[in-house]
Amino acid sequence: MATRSMQSGPDREEPDRPIAEIPLAEIDVSRPSLFQSDKVGAFFERLRREDPVHYCSESAFGPYWSITRYNDIMAVDTNHKLFSSEAKLGGIAIQDMHNDATNLELEMFIAMDQPKHDAQRKAVTPAVAPSNLLLLEPVIRERAGAILDSLPVGEEIDWVKSVSVELTTMTLATLFDFPWDERAKLTRWSDVTTAIPGSGIVESNEQRRQELIECAMYFKGLWDQRIDRSEGSDLITMMANSPATREMPFLEFLGNLLLLIVGGNDTTRNSISGGVIALNQNPDQYEKLRQHPSLIGSMVPEIIRWQTPLTHMRRTALADSEIGGKRIAKGDKVVMWYLSGNRDETVIERPEEFIIDRKNPRQHLSFGYGIHRCMGNRLAELQLRIIWEEIHKRFRLVEMVGEPERLLSNLVRGITRLPVKLRAH
């Protein structure tokens, strides 16, 4: 197993040559710089066509299989008995968990197999149950409206900082019933959890570790206040009082918290930003939206497909098997590239185009499928729907006035800066 990790900083420069001339065996789609420059799509396009189940024998993350077609991804994602999410085998991302002495050995149910996964997931799902979301909707709408009302019209602002981060942080604070004035901590912890040292968020693994321990201690304080509290539908009260989660060891407690924070933060944040980019790059669709605001309902899943806020999930093969005619050996690292599957022309019509009134917009891979399917998918959609409804009431156009800046990461498809000007009706 490779020991050089994603956290050792930016990867090597690829010599500038046409993608078609790179020998297949040399293609390595895991390089974070390919995502930061947003050039990875052309590599996936070639793999889908020429070698859809592709083996990369050498990378900064060790050898791995790339699954690039929609149906193959679906087959792996729904076969949890053969393809494990277990942290001790490497977990759920191409970057192994537990491979670095300075990392915390976090445990979270997304990186567990049955039966422990099921018990812990069941304990927290009521927080995002459809019935609970109905209660959250007016709160989120009011807060979204307040954010938008505070923005200057006609001046350049950073949409990421002013809207995407603000709204997702507020929602998360609501879900956790987190002390309101300190809610910026949630954003910070989310960023730190997935950060590469040297990427501008943390300087070292030691700093990362320190901050995450602070996070755990803070939540421990909230937990202690809420344990044995009989009412409260927030996530902490639920975890503190459910038999499946109340006795969790410390690192499992921290891991599951971070899972819920990252799960509810980065992903929605980047979809809120991604929607603005998609509409600006497709002005005909923006016009269609202005004429038919009722299309917001189908635009929301299209934004989530288009953005694909998590580029991949990874599994580890528990036995020898076959995918798309290739022999996968027990122990192999199998990476399901959702970003590629969501552009698979054999399943999704005109996949490169952003179309707000697609026929089956919810048929995409961004939430994953099977028992690990995104637990907060309805909450994510709710937030996106509300923000676009509230934007429509206030502004004719959110105009992109400069190129977006993207995150150096092969997992989180992040937008770090998005200069826009708001145009009134």
Partner 1 sequence: MVKVTFVAHDGRRFPVEIEPGMTAREAALFNEVPGIDGDCGGQCACATCHVHVDPAWIDRVGRLADDSMEADLLQFAEGTTTESRLACQIKLDDRLDGLVLRVPEQQY
At its nearest, how many Å lie between partner 1 and the CB of residue 295?
17
- Is-contact 105 251, C-beta < 8 A? yes
* Nearer Cβ to partner 1 (123/163): 123
Q: Which residues in 96-115 contact partner 1 (CB under 8 A)?
A: 114
Please give the Cα distance from 126 to 131 (Å, whole number): 8
Element containing residue 76 per DSSP (H, E): helix 70-77
Element containing residue 379 per DSSP (H, E): helix 377-394
At its nearest, how many Å lie between partner 1 and the CB of residue 373?
6
CA atoms within 13 A of residue 258's CA, in its CB half-sphere:
29
Interface region with partner 1, contact rule CB under 8 A, candidates 168-176, 194-202, 314-322, 375-383: 375-383
Amino acid type, 407: L
User: Is residue 294 involved in binding partner 1 (CB under 8 A)?
Assistant: no
* Nearer Cβ to partner 1 (72/96): 72
At its nearest, how many Å lie between partner 1 and the CB of residue 268?
17
Among 55, 80, 242, 345, binds partner 1 (CB under 8 A): 80
CB-neighbour burial class of residue 48 (10 A; exposed 0-12, middle 13-18, buried 19+): buried
At its nearest, how many Å lie between partner 1 and the CB of residue 109?
11
At its nearest, how many Å lie between partner 1 and the CB of residue 74?
6
The phi, psi pair for 150, rounded to 5°, reads -85, -5
Among 99, 241, 242, 377, binds partner 1 (CB under 8 A): 377
Those residues whose C-beta lies under 8 Å from the C-beta of residue 168, and which sit 6 or more positions away, are 187, 264, 265, 268, 269, 272, 383
User: Is residue 131 involved in binding partner 1 (CB under 8 A)?
Assistant: yes
User: Is residue 346 involved in binding partner 1 (CB under 8 A)?
Assistant: no
Amino acid type, 353: E
User: Is residue 118 involved in binding partner 1 (CB under 8 A)?
Assistant: yes
At its nearest, how many Å lie between partner 1 and the CB of residue 234?
18
Among 37, 57, 125, 204, binds partner 1 (CB under 8 A): 125
* Nearer Cβ to partner 1 (80/288): 80
Among 2, 22, 251, 371, binds partner 1 (CB under 8 A): 371
User: Is residue 130 involved in binding partner 1 (CB under 8 A)?
Assistant: yes
Which strands sit side by side in the sheet containing 419-424, from one edge to the other? 156-158, 419-424, 395-400
Residue whose entry in the numeric block shows the structure tokens 């006609």: 154
The 10 Å Cβ neighbour count of residue 66 is 25
Interface region with partner 1, contact rule CB under 8 A, candidates 102-110, 204-212, 234-242, 361-369: 361-369
- Is-contact 137 386, C-beta < 8 A? yes
Among 144, 196, 202, 375, binds partner 1 (CB under 8 A): 375
At its nearest, how many Å lie between partner 1 and the CB of residue 129?
5
The phi, psi pair for 359, rounded to 5°, reads -70, -50
Q: Report in angstroms the alpha-carbon separations of 203 from 53, 208, 213, 217, 280.
A: 36, 8, 16, 22, 34
* Nearer Cβ to partner 1 (55/369): 369
At its nearest, how many Å lie between partner 1 and the CB of residue 135?
13
Residues that bind partner 1 (CB under 8 A): 74, 77-78, 80, 114, 118, 121-122, 125-126, 129-131, 360, 362-363, 367, 369-371, 373, 375, 377-378
